[in-house]
């Protein structure tokens, strides 16, 4: 891993073929390092890559879209201000699926990112650039955003650690919204301890984000070595169809290790989780169609044509040229489920099932301390393998979307490799604001493996 800015720039140039970064501005970085050298804190001298949908003042915030390719952010997101106050160094902006909509980082106007473990494979998404940056040794720390698995799934595919905090645990101010009731910023790091250290800095109430919660922030780092997880729930009924044999074998091997080290494994039922993908792709697309309405070429972003016959033509031309096919697909899905005559049949019903999924977790977490599942049902897939099959792409998030729907935290830790040497991750889920507990189990697993 790079230990200095010169090391980072050297490693960045060595890995350009992986297309990990969208922006590395050496002039901006030089001024930023000079400014941060006077700041002493828990992240002093720590270099951090930022997903390119989180605003950093003075740097582009492209969201991986042609629509915003020339947009320079005029302000810092709250998480960036907190990182700067703690002495951290922002080294650049990482690639992502356009507007965070994707599971492979192939849906980026800036081109696909490749997995550093094997460049023939995807790094996951939508925070694939952030996960690849850590896996490739550019930095040990990165920030991503997670709407349905976009931190945990790429962490699993790249063999690193990814944490989606409880909804509201970390401010979303300055995060370009995809689905506002699901989005959450979180760390992607090389170790569980590093995730705890980064979460310690970015967590907490923010008056600029009405959805951030005023719940005390635990001492994640100080409590990391505590052993508060005694009973672990596993919904074995979800591990049948569609789970790759290598994933299942690696997951079961990890369970055996946990049993040998005194953990009680309990079979639990989460009966409504089979509806998670359907619920997610109704709620997320509905919110996306609303959030992305602001991108019209009037206030910012591309303006493709000034000579049009009507305002509707003006919007249509700008959005046609600005958005990629996956974003258009989700906007159309979301507009459909919100339209007259379909709202009650789809969106309202999905909200009811969302509550049932939340209740499933609450019931289970009264009997166990944490819940575990594979992060993904398969190892990483090849570049281009699912591009023409959106449903297969969406199903790679089948184990991760439920935590966003329920608002609970989830942590992906690496637990092994497939027969082809591709990373396999395990997801640890806890109750609301129990990041400390899932980090403790993740830290224990990291030590055992």
C-alpha of 188 from chain center: 8
**Tokens found for residue 123:** 């790094």
Tokens of 204: 């907490």
CB neighbours of 403 closer than 8 A, spacing ≥ 6?
Answer: 164, 409, 410, 427, 429
Active site residue 30: no
Q: What span, in angstroms and rounded, lies between the C-alpha atoms of 265 and 19?
A: 41
Question: pLDDT tens for residues 359-384?
Answer: 999 999 999 999 999 999 999 999 99
Residue written as token pair 């599942």: 373
Active site residue 310: no
Options 65, 126, 127, 276, the catalytic residue: 126
Q: What is the mean pLDDT of residues 335-356?
A: 93
Q: What are phi and psi of 50, to 5 degrees?
A: -115, 130
Rg (CA), the chain: 21
- pLDDT exceeds cutoff 80 at 329: yes
Q: Which residue has the tokens 């989700």?
A: 330
- pLDDT of 312 reads 84
Residue matched to tokens 């396999």: 424
pLDDT at 16 over 90: yes
User: Are 82 and 201 contacting, i.e. CB atoms less than 8 angstroms apart?
Assistant: yes
Annotation says 180 is catalytic: no
- Every domain of the chain and the residues it spans: 1-449
Tell me: pLDDT of 395 over 90: no
CATH (one of 3.30.70.2700, 3.40.1160.10, 3.90.1300.10, 3.30.1310.10) for 1-449:
3.90.1300.10
pLDDT-derived band at 308 (thresholds 50, 70, 90) equals: confident
Of 326, 325, 324, 322, which is closest to residue 297 (Cα–Cα)? 322
Catalytic residue among 150, 212, 289, 402: 150
Q: Residue 179: what pLDDT?
A: 96
| pLDDT score for 1 | 65
């Amino acid at each position: 891993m790079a230990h200095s800015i010169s090391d980072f720039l050297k490693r960045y140039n060595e890995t350009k073929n992986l297309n990990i970064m969208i922006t590395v501005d050496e002039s901006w970085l030089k001024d930023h390092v000079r400014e941060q050298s006077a700041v002493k804190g828990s992240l002093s001298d720590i270099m951090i890559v930022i997903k390119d949908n989180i605003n950093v003042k003075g740097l582009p915030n492209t969201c991986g879209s042609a629509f915003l390719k020339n947009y320079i952010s005029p302000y810092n997101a709250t998480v960036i201000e907190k990182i700067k106050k703690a002495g951290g160094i922002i080294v650049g902006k990482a690639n992502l699926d356009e507007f965070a909509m994707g599971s492979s980082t192939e849906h980026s106007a800036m081109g696909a990112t490749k997995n550093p473990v094997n460049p023939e494979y995807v790094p996951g998404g939508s925070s694939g650039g952030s996960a690849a940056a850590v896996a490739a040794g550019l930095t040990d720390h990165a920030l991503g955003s997670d709407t349905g698995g976009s931190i945990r799934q790429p962490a699993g595919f790249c063999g690193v650690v990814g944490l989606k905090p409880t909804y509201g645990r970390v401010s979303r101010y300055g995060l370009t919204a995809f689905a506002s009731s699901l989005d959450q910023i979180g760390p992607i790091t090389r170790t569980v301890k590093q995730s705890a250290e980064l979460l310690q800095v970015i967590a907490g109430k923010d008056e600029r984000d009405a959805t951030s919660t005023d719940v005390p922030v635990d001492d994640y780092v100080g409590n990391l070595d505590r052993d508060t997880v005694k009973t672990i729930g596993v919904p074995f009924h979800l591990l049948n169809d569609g789970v790759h044999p290598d994933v299942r074998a690696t997951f079961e091997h990890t369970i055996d290790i946990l049993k040998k080290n005194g953990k009680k494994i309990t079979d639990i039922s989460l009966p409504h989780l089979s509806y998670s993908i359907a619920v997610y792709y109704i709620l997320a697309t509905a919110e996306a169609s609303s959030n992305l309405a602001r991108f019209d070429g009037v206030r910012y972003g591309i303006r493709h044509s000034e000579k049009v016959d009507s305002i509707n033509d003006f919007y249509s031309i700008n959005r046609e040229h600005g958005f990629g096919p996956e974003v258009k697909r989700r906007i159309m899905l979301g507009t459909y489920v919100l339209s007259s005559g379909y709202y009650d049949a789809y969106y309202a019903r999905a909200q009811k099932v969302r509550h049932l999924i939340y209740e499933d977790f609450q019931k289970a977490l009264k009997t166990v301390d944490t819940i575990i599942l594979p992060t993904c049902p398969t190892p990483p897939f090849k570049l281009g393998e699912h591009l023409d099959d959106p449903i297969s792409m969406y199903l790679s998030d089948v184990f991760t979307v439920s935590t966003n729907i329920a608002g609970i935290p989830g942590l992906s830790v690496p637990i092994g490799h497939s027969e082809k040497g591709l990373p396999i991750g395990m997801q640890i889920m806890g109750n609301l604001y129990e990041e400390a507990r899932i980090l403790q189990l993740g830290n224990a697993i990291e030590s055992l493996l």
